[in-house]
């Protein structure tokens, strides 16, 4: 007989336990913002420092900050939030190249399954802020865009931080997808492209009345 811990049934139990732990731990963290970006950005680099600044400013404004809990941009945003007035939250993931949780977390969860972790990012955030990053960052970006485009989530600011980094992607969407009718011109309205921390704050201030939780 197959060992239960190596069976598909055991996998269901593990999935269930991660869902329950996530829901119970994050149940009261609103309002919150999810911030994404590369784990390879080092302290002292432009975008790392901007992430620290943004995390601190949003934390002081009453937003809890959610990241993937690792190094780079995630660490920067957590650090800023940790030094601010609100909660700093890390949703870590078990991967072959072990991700070491950064030390700037008030709440620290670890997931085996990406899809559960991604659910937590969306369920408890009122906005996504996407710093420069690689495949993982773009995965989160396009997941949010798909959910918003298909109206699976409500009003949901999706903010790209770093014009120089993201402008090539935006131009490609305009020059390739729209002419081929695989994307509607209006879909680009789901994305905000910014270069400064204050621009992010202005966008969130504009949208805050659409959410049940009112900011102080």
Residue 39, domain member (yes or no): yes
pLDDT at 153: 83
104 burial via Cβ count (<10 Å: 0-12, 13-18, 19+): buried
Number of domains in the chain: 1
Residues 129-152 have a mean pLDDT of: 94
pLDDT-based confidence at residue 8 (cuts at 50, 70, 90): confident
168 burial via Cβ count (<10 Å: 0-12, 13-18, 19+): exposed
List helix spans (H) across the chain.
8-26, 46-60, 73-83, 114-123, 135-149, 163-172, 197-207
DSSP state of 164: H
Q: How far apart are CA 66 and CA 45, in angstroms?
A: 21
Residues 39-43 have a mean pLDDT of: 95
pLDDT at 1: 41
- Dihedral in degrees, nearest 10, Cα atoms 104, 105, 106, 110: -160
Tokens of 32: 């919150």
Residue 216, domain member (yes or no): no
Write out the H or E segment, with its range, that includes residue 68: none
CATH number of the domain where residue 91 is located: 3.40.50.450
Residue 17, domain member (yes or no): yes
pLDDT-based confidence at residue 98 (cuts at 50, 70, 90): low
* Residue 152 CA neighbour count, 13 Å, CB half: 10
- Dihedral in degrees, nearest 10, Cα atoms 151, 31, 122, 28: -120
Residue 215, domain member (yes or no): no
Residue 203, domain member (yes or no): yes
Residue 193, domain member (yes or no): yes
Residue 27, domain member (yes or no): yes
Residue 46, domain member (yes or no): yes
DSSP state of 198: H
State the pTM of this model: 0.90
Q: Is 121 within 8 Å of 66 (Cβ atoms)?
A: yes
Q: How far apart are CA 5 and CA 8, in angstroms?
A: 8
pLDDT above 70 coverage of the chain, percent: 92
Domain that holds residue 174: 4-210
SS3 for 124?
coil
pLDDT at 209: 62
Q: How far apart are CA 80 and CA 160, in angstroms?
A: 19
5 burial via Cβ count (<10 Å: 0-12, 13-18, 19+): exposed
């Amino acid at each position: 007989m197959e060992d239960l811990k190596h069976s598909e049934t055991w996998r269901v139990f593990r999935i269930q336990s991660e869902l329950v732990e996530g829901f119970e731990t994050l149940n009261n963290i609103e309002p919150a913002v999810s911030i994404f970006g590369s784990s390879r950005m080092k302290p002292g680099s432009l975008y790392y420092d901007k992430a620290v600044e943004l995390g601190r400013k949003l934390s002081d404004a009453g937003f809890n900050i959610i990241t993937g809990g690792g190094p780079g941009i995630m660490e920067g945003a957590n650090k800023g939030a940790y030094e601010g007035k609100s909660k700093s939250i890390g949703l870590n993931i078990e991967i072959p190249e072990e991700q070491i949780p950064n030390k700037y977390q008030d709440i620290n969860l670890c997931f085996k399954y990406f899809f559960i972790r991604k659910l937590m990012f969306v369920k408890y955030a009122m906005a996504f802020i996407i710093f420069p990053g690689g495949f993982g960052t773009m995965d989160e970006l396009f997941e949010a865009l798909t959910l918003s485009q298909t109206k699976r989530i409500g009003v949901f600011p999706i903010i790209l931080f770093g014009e120089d980094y993201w402008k090539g992607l935006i131009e490609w969407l305009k020059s390739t997808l729209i002419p081929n009718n695989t994307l509607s011109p209006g879909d680009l309205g789901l994305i905000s492209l910014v270069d400064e921390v204050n621009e992010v704050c202005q966008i969130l201030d504009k949208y805050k009345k659409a959410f049940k939780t009112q900011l102080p």
